[in-house]
Amino acid sequence: MVAAKSFPERSRPLSFQPTQMGLASSDLCVCSQQQTMNHIVNVCPFTKFGGGLQSLHEAGDDAVHWMEFTAATALAE
């Protein structure tokens, strides 16, 4: 198994454009900050995953529930 690496200094806006795909009305997070993976998983008070990016990559039960909740919340907006 290859260890996942985290590069917070390289955290950029999401590579796909949710607004261009009709999935969102703004490129901003629900907390009004720019959406990056680091922000969504580690920083945002509304979407932060307690296990961090490493735990999210392991896709345990907590990570799966977080992804389902986060996706459902994003679709409800």
Query: Look-up: residue for tokens 């290859």?
Result: 2
- Strand, coil or helix: what is 36? strand
Residue 48: CB atoms within 10 Å: 16
d(CA 74, CA 29): 10
Whether the predicted pLDDT of 61 surpasses 90: yes
Q: Are 54 and 4 in contact (CB under 8 A)?
A: yes
Residue 39: CB atoms within 10 Å: 19
For the whole prediction, is pTM greater than 0.75? Answer: no
- 76 φ, ψ to 5°? -75, -15
pLDDT digits (tens, 9 = 90+) for 5-45: 544 445 555 555 666 666 667 778 889 998 888 888 899 99
